[in-house]
Structure 1
């Protein structure tokens, strides 16, 4: 209770008085921070009984017992971090959400896991709503995951003060909390969901989405710094590029320029074969900052634990795969399920994501062995 009251006081102080702006970390500061970290291995995590960020953290569906059980499984195979998505709508109950996030972080600490927390996300459903979340759509990968902010807030500048209050509030409340590894301020900010909600026949994404987020993202970095974050900030590049492209600022998109120039540590996604990983790591290391892969491991595109973890460990590039225990997100199904749902007896040839099945058994015992070997468990 004392810790919660301290966090609440920090929250109110942040909202009322603001904080001194913290500058972009120098490469030296970032590398000194990273030198104290182990080889980081973990998953993008939501409990099996949560379809999205809201179901994970809303009062009626927050489930500490399931989280504790699943993070014990992660600790058991040597994982030491998780990437966990928050949502701006949760800040409509700042006191309750702060209390639940504090409880979640305590469970993480119990299992020696320091999560990277994601503030905003441009992926999947652009129409988030609080309250009871719908059941998974049969046979479809991530059928209930939510964008934050949604399309309505993103295209309405009158809502930006609310978004600012959310960022400053949650970061400010946990700004000195060593249980948090880092803040990922925006996941795949220029993703227009062309495979799902952005399809031509639906046109549910704002036409100017990328331009809007490109202009907003620097402010989000600034808000987190003004809130006094002691942890590093990042936003990961995710569109495939050649190594020469990454090393040449003239070839960066406007969004990539914002991401690279504002991130304290460099993060990226890599759903490709091991040869491509070996090429991209030196290119991103050329920035002279720590490098962490915040999404990988899709068996269907030859991105695997057995191949990728040894490469990354040699370079001390942290690795965070998508998915942990199979559940309501249904991300064991591949991306093409949006075009051809896996129903009526249709099954994927191999599971796309996840480490464990719903019964707690490994999808592949050889993968768990590879994770344990990489983490020294």
Structure 2
């Protein structure tokens, strides 16, 4: 382990570069004592001053970021709720039409045929799936409420630091910027965790198989979520990714079997392989207009999806992307689409709506392993 002479964080020197400030960890061995002293005064001191100034600026803007985050999160939840409600509209219309037919065909009771002691019974309305997302923001976890408070570890939580620990609630302070690989993997008792506004990176399998984790509020500072970060978090129900996020790793939310709603930010341009594969309860997802590609098996076995409207920016759909989405009935493809991978709609029975201007493209009219009916619009 080496200590960076700029930011004073301890870390491995395998790369030779500090992960926090980017300064070389190894010093030149050929410097004499005089050269070293000169180098310290001319090179290190200005860099330390610059680093300290940047830290002050970050602390100064932290409060503004927290206020903006709350406003953005509320707007995005409302947007997702509106999208889900629009997707349910055709089903509601069909239900209303069926009820109207039942009322027209059934005889209307007269005043004499109704007993004074018994009121006429209303027709039973079939249940309608609820798609409205709660607008109430879940109360954030405070240090006083947490079973464990992460402390005295610098700016990063190391790989496997708390793997398989019995914590139920964890509070991570604002000094943490990085959560390492498998840091909380197999914490099967973990139900709630506070992530700081300073967090920028969640590593590979950081929360994999946290099977009791029901909610997690991701900060707006987060730019990258690693491979399998939340895989097999089978109790997770909603996920909102904010606009700072630019990288979403393979299998990030794979097999989150109770996940119902997901919101992807406009900062995201591509969806990697298996991201939501096996999310059998996923009913509604917002895909941003910035999205250009959907990876291999990204939505495989999302059996609760019944309609998907792909953004106008999309150019490619990977192989098996919607494989075995057996509940899917309506698919809307954009004019920008150039490629659909092999078996993309395997075992899917749905109507595919495509722009009339795409009639000559190679991907139009094929089945891709399913039973598709193609209609232009």
Same fold by TM-score, threshold 0.5 exceeded? no
Q: Normalized per residue, which structure has more strand?
A: 2
Task: Give the structure, 1 or 2, with the largest relative contact order (CA under 8 Å, sep 6 or more).
Answer: 1
TM-score (normalised: structure 1): 0.24
